[in-house]
Amino acid sequence: MPVPLDPGATETAHVLVLAEDVLPEELEVLATSRFTAAHWEHPPAAPDPRTRVPSLRLSRLSTLDGPYRMDRDVRARLGLPAAGVQGYLLRGPHERGEAPWPEAGDRDGLGRAFPDGLPVRDELRTVTWLVAAARRLGGAVRVAGSGVVLVPDPTQAVDLTVWSDIWLDPQACLVVVRQALPRAQLDLGREWAGPPPEAGRVPAQGTQDMDPEERAALHVAAEERDLQVLAHPAHRSSYGLLADLDADGMLAVGVEAVEEVPVVLAGVPWTEGGAIAYRVTWEPDDLAVLGQERPAVEHRVARSRTAPLVNAVTRALHTAVAGEITDMMDFVVDPADL
| Model confidence pLDDT, tens digit, residues 151-163 | 999 999 999 999 9
Average pLDDT of the chain is 91
Which residues constitute the domain of residue 328? 160-189+236-337
Per-residue confidence (pLDDT) for residue 229, from 0 to 100: 58
Please check whether residues 176 and 313 belong to one and the same domain. yes
Highest mean pLDDT among 3-17, 177-191, 232-246: 3-17
Residue that terminates a domain, selected from 123, 152, 181: 152
Same domain, 79 and 19: yes
User: Would 49 be classed as within a structural domain?
Assistant: yes
pLDDT over 90 at 17, yes or no: yes
pLDDT at 134 over 70: yes
**pTM for this entry:** 0.84
Closest CA to 92 of 6, 4, 32, 14: 14
- Looking at the fold, whether 110 and 185 belong to one and the same domain comes out as no
Residues 106 and 19 in one domain: yes
The C-alpha atoms of residue 323 and residue 301 are separated, in whole angstroms, by: 31
pLDDT at 191 over 70: no
Whether residue 304 lies inside any domain: the answer is: yes
106 and 180 part of one domain: no
Judge contact between 162 and 325, C-beta under 8 A.
yes
Per-residue pLDDT averaged across 277-306, rounded?
Answer: 95
pLDDT above 70: residue 194: no
pLDDT digits (tens, 9 = 90+) for 98-131: 999 987 789 999 999 999 999 999 999 999 999 9
DSSP 53-76: B-EEE-SSS-EEEEEEE--HHHHH
Residues 8 and 109 in one domain: yes
The residue type found at 90 is L
User: Does the residue 212 lie in any domain?
Assistant: no
How confident is the model at residue 297, as a pLDDT?
Answer: 95
Identify the band that residue 51 occupies on the pLDDT scale cut at 50, 70 and 90: confident
Number of structural domains found in the chain: 2
Contacts (Cβ under 8 Å, ≥6 apart) of 56: 24, 27, 28, 31, 38, 39, 40, 41, 63, 64, 65
204 inside domain: no
Same domain, 131 and 166: no
Pair (137, 278) in one structural domain: no
- Residue 211 lies inside a defined structural domain of this protein: no
Average pLDDT estimate for 225-234: 61
Directed axis angle between helix 297-321 and helix 170-180, to 10°?
Answer: 120
What integer pLDDT is reported at residue 188 of this predicted model?
75
Domain boundary among 125, 152, 179: 152
| pLDDT of 223 strictly over 90 | no
- Tell whether 105 and 169 lie within a shared domain: no
Query: How far, in Å, CA of 294 to CA of 290, rounded?
Result: 9
3-class secondary-structure state, position 26:
helix
Predicted confidence band at 211 (pLDDT cuts at 50, 70, 90)?
confident
Residue 148's CB is within 10 A of a number of other CB atoms, namely 17
In a domain, 222, yes or no: no
| 218: helix, strand or coil | helix
Q: What is the pLDDT of residue 231?
A: 59
Identify whether 174 is part of a domain: yes
Kindly list the distances between the CA atom of residue 194 and the CA atoms of 67, 198, 215, 227, in Å, as whole numbers in the listed order: 65, 11, 19, 9
> Does one domain contain both 257 and 147?
no
pLDDT digits (tens, 9 = 90+) for 67-86: 999 999 999 999 999 999 99
What is the dihedral angle through the alpha carbons of 31, 274, 310, 334, rounded to the nearest 10 degrees?
-50
The average pLDDT across 230-254 equals: 85
- 138 shares its domain with 184: no
Same domain, 177 and 78: no
**198, part of any domain:** no
Per-residue pLDDT band for 336 (boundaries 50, 70, 90) equals: very high
User: Other CB atoms closer than 10 Å to residue 38's CB: what's the count?
Assistant: 21
| The pLDDT of residue 96 | 96
For the cut 80, the answer to whether the pLDDT of residue 206 exceeds it is no
